[in-house]
């Protein structure tokens, strides 16, 4: 038998199974769709977390800004109100020494060439040493319709404060503690330490012709007022460097903001109250002040050393008024009422008021 041999140049046929192509690896359309869906879910979750973090950071920044502005306004009011009633009757900086004799005495407040009036804080018709007694503090008294004492809700037409509510009585039934509350407070203090109430009703360079003396109470010289309505010391001084400071202050809530009293409109404006004078806002338009309340607490104590502190102040007794003001402030961002915050503080008024019981 003849043995067959392969012919040159010819290949041997492969089996049928060997002629099939090998399987290819890859993604099906369903797998790709599922993968994309899972990826979108992961990205959505990550984006949600990111947006939550961004929103939280923004909210924290807004809350911090609101808190900072409310605290700044509260701090301004605290620092200023606690000075209410301060009177430099000892003239610690010698600014009130009109006649340059080295001391602040009643003679420094006498009638002078520019018509500053007679200094008579106790209203006895004379300018004397008693006018410098703490009992006659002009920054804690009312002259005509102008109430210089610490007052809540001051009426510029009468000088009246809001009605006081008695919260504590002594054994005799007389009031020992009263409270007054409202959205406005006014007060005065001796800012330039000259012993006299300055109003800055005239510019330092204006003379009596351009800025005549106000008429009517409490500016009549015959009314024995303690007001320095224009540079008055000394009247013959060519260089009036001691310009009078505006010494009538106040804070109030108005149209969603806090206003600070900064002066009078002009020399014709002779009123002092919550509805008069020139006011400027101390809070920005980015926040809304929803509530501002001043709560004045007054403790009445008998200062006669021979009597008990809680005894009724009888005729001739000096009666001490110890005062503190609670301030409650609520505000929120102008575009977001949900950011509302409330802050409060208690201010101890440093200068007690003494009243001689008639």
Per-residue pLDDT of the chain (358 residues; tens, 9 = 90+): 455 555 555 555 555 555 555 565 666 777 778 878 888 888 887 877 777 777 766 667 778 888 999 999 999 999 999 999 998 876 666 655 655 666 665 555 554 434 345 566 666 766 666 766 778 888 998 888 899 999 999 999 999 999 999 999 999 999 999 999 999 999 999 887 777 787 766 766 777 777 777 777 777 655 556 777 665 444 455 555 555 678 999 999 999 999 999 888 776 777 899 999 999 999 999 899 999 999 999 999 998 889 999 999 998 888 999 999 999 999 999 988 888 999 999 999 999 999 888 7
Residue 297: which of 350, 341, 346 has the closest Cα? 346
The angle at the Cα of 181, spanning 175 to 183, to the nearest 5 degrees, equals: 160
DSSP string of 164-204, one letter each residue: PEEEEE-TTS-EEEEEEEESEEEEE--TT-SSSEE---S-T
For CA atoms 148, 152, 157, 159, the dihedral sign is negative
In a domain, 26, yes or no: no
In a domain, 157, yes or no: yes
Pairing mode of beta strands 227-228, 353-356: unpaired
In sequence order, the β-bridge partners of residue 296 are 180, 325
- Give yes or no for a contact between 185 and 79, defined as CB atoms under 8 angstroms apart: no
User: Which contiguous run of DSSP H or E holds residue 79?
Assistant: helix 29-81
Exposure b/e, 139-174, CB count within 10 A at least 16 = b: bbbbbebbbbbbbbbbbbeebebbeeeeeeebeeee
* CA distances, 46 to each of 49, 59, 172 (Å): 5, 20, 74
In a domain, 73, yes or no: yes
**Burial class of residue 27 in the structure, from the number of CB atoms within 10 Å of its CB (0-12 exposed, 13-18 middle, 19+ buried):** exposed
- Give yes or no for a contact between 65 and 339, defined as CB atoms under 8 angstroms apart: no
Q: Which domain holds residue 227?
A: 63-356
In a domain, 170, yes or no: yes
Exposure b/e, 178-193, CB count within 10 A at least 16 = b: bebbbbbbbbbbbbbb
- Give yes or no for a contact between 145 and 156, defined as CB atoms under 8 angstroms apart: yes
d(CA 66, CA 330): 10
Residue 297 DSSP label: E
In a domain, 173, yes or no: yes
In a domain, 21, yes or no: no
In a domain, 53, yes or no: no
Say what the pLDDT of residue 115 is: 39
For 94, list phi and psi in degrees, rounded to 5: 60, 20
In a domain, 35, yes or no: no
Say what the pLDDT of residue 111 is: 41
- How many domains is the chain built from? 1
């Amino acid at each position: 038998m003849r043995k067959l041999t392969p012919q040159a140049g010819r290949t041997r046929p492969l089996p049928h199974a060997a002629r099939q192509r090998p399987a290819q690896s890859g993604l099906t359309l369903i797998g790709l769709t599922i993968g994309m869906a899972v990826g979108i879910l992961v990205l959505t979750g990550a984006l949600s977390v990111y947006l939550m973090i961004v929103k939280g950071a923004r909210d924290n920044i807004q809350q911090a800004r609101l808190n900072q502005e409310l605290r700044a306004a509260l701090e301004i009011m605290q620092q200023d109100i606690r000075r209410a009633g301060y009177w430099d009757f000892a003239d610690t900086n010698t600014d009130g020494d009109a006649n340059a004799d080295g001391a602040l005495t009643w003679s420094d407040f006498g009638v002078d060439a520019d018509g500053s009036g007679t200094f008579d804080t106790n209203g006895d018709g004379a300018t004397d040493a008693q006018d410098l007694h703490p009992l006659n503090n002009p920054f804690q008294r009312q002259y005509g319709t102008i109430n210089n004492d610490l007052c809540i809700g001051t009426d510029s037409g009468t000088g009246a404060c809001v009605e006081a509510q008695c919260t504590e009585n002594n054994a005799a039934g007389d009031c020992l503690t009263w409270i007054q509350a409202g959205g406005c407070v006014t007060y005065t203090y001796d800012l330039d330490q000259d012993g006299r109430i300055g109003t800055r009703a005239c510019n330092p360079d204006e003379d009596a012709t351009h800025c005549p003396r106000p008429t009517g109470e409490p500016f009549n010289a015959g009314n024995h007022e303690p007001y320095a309505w224009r540079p008055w010391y000394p009247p013959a001084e060519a260089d009036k460097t001691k310009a009078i400071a505006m010494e009538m202050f106040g804070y109030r809530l108005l149209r969603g903001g806090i206003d600070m009293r900064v002066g009078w409109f002009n020399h014709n404006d002779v009123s002092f109250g919550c509805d008069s004078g020139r006011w400027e806002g101390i809070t920005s338009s980015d926040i809304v002040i929803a509530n501002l309340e001043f709560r004045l607490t007054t403790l009445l104590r008998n200062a006669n050393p021979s009597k008990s502190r809680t005894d009724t102040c009888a005729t001739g007794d000096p009666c001490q008024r110890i005062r503190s003001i609670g301030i409650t402030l609520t505000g929120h961002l102008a575009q977001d009422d949900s950011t509302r915050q409330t802050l409060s503080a208690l201010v101890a008024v440093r200068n007690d008021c003494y009243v001689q019981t008639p």
